[in-house]
Amino acid sequence: MSEFLWQARAALVVAKKNAMVYYLKPPVFTFGIIFPFFFYLAFAAGRNAPPETMAPGIVAMALFFTASAVGPLVTPWERQAKTYERLITSPASLIAILSGDVLAGTGFGVLLALLPLAIATLSTPASVVAFLPLVLGIVLGSLSFAALGVLLAAPATQGPSQVMMLSNLVRLPLIFVSGVFIPVSQMPAWGRWLAPFSPLSYCADLIRSGFGETHYWSTLTDMTALCAFIIGFMFLAARWHKRTRDRAN
């Protein structure tokens, strides 16, 4: 138990370090905030939908990009600064280090998702009618997206731009099949078939439910799917990071 508590504390220290060092980095703002904002505005410009109906999608989109923006940048920056080797040779386990990266991404995602949520509820007729699914969607979704970001940081490269290129190649398809722009129930048959493969689908479903829209899946299904994505992404991230580290040594 003492070893577990020590590793948990190490994860928190890594998360705090990431928050203090990387939250204010320009690429994090570019890929985590500015890019999704204009991306969604470009989509909304071609629609005649009331602002309140787009609020759940904007919140889910902001959460997805912000939570997954920190992970892909932390490891390459650590390699560039020559601090990655010192970190992985510390008493902190690889799982503790990766968990710290996930916690940093999760915190960033939750904090930044509150901004469009506040704007939507204060400046449009949109209102939160069910807090539990909304909170579950934000927290579990943020954990899932942050774990995805850590997984995408596993390739052995010192260039953040290379990792972000890979990250966007993965994230953009997940957006288009997720139902974040339109509910899954209104998507064509091929979209409804692909939607379950994106963690954003379940996050957006919970957030839409929090705003009073009809569930496509049940709350339990959304929760179970997001937890499965978190575990799966963390498992793959640990395996891939370990392989990259072993090859470097």
**Domain ranges (residues) in the chain:** 2-248
pLDDT at 148 over 70: yes
Q: Which residue has the higher pLDDT, 236 or 157?
A: 236
pLDDT at 144: 96
pLDDT at 178: 84
pLDDT at 199: 94
Encoded tokens for 198: 């994106």
pLDDT at 32: 56
Are 182 and 44 in contact by the 8 Å Cβ rule? The answer is: no
Mean pLDDT confidence for 146-174: 77
Mind giving me the DSSP string for 195-212?
GGG-HHHHHHHHHHHHTT
Q: Which residue has the higher pLDDT, 210 or 18?
A: 210
Residue 21, helix vs strand vs coil:
helix
Banded model confidence at residue 23, pLDDT cuts 50, 70, 90:
low
Mean pLDDT confidence for 223-227: 96
**Rounded Cα distance, 82 and 227, in Å:** 34
Are 83 and 45 in contact by the 8 Å Cβ rule? The answer is: no
Q: Of 200, 184, 25, 47, nearest to 113 (Cα)?
A: 200
pLDDT in tens, 173-210: 888 888 787 778 888 888 889 999 999 999 999 999 99
Residue type, 40: Y
**Rounded Cα distance, 203 and 115, in Å:** 17
Cα-based angle 145, 148, 153 (whole degrees, multiple of 5)? 130
pLDDT at 192: 87
**How much of the chain exceeds pLDDT 90, in percent?**
22
Banded model confidence at residue 24, pLDDT cuts 50, 70, 90:
low
Count other C-beta atoms under 10 Å from residue 197's C-beta.
Answer: 12
Cα-based angle 47, 40, 118 (whole degrees, multiple of 5)? 105
Mean pLDDT (the chain) is 81
**Rounded Cα distance, 213 and 163, in Å:** 36
Q: Which residue has the higher pLDDT, 128 or 87?
A: 128
Q: Which residue has the higher pLDDT, 93 or 158?
A: 93
**Residues 6 or more apart whose Cβ sits within 8 Å of residue 162:** 76, 155
**Residues 6 or more apart whose Cβ sits within 8 Å of residue 35:** 65
pTM summary value:
0.86
Mean pLDDT confidence for 147-160: 76
Find the farthest-apart pair of alpha carbons in the chain and give their distance in angstroms, rounded: 57
pLDDT in tens, 47-105: 666 666 777 888 888 889 888 887 777 777 777 767 777 777 778 888 888 898 899 88
Q: Which residue has the higher pLDDT, 200 or 170?
A: 200
Residue 70, helix vs strand vs coil:
coil
Q: How many CA atoms lie within 13 A of 120 on its CB side?
A: 24
Q: Which residues of 141-175 are buried (b: 16+ CB within 10 A; e: fewer)?
A: bbbbbbbbbbbbbbeebeebeebbebbeeebeebb
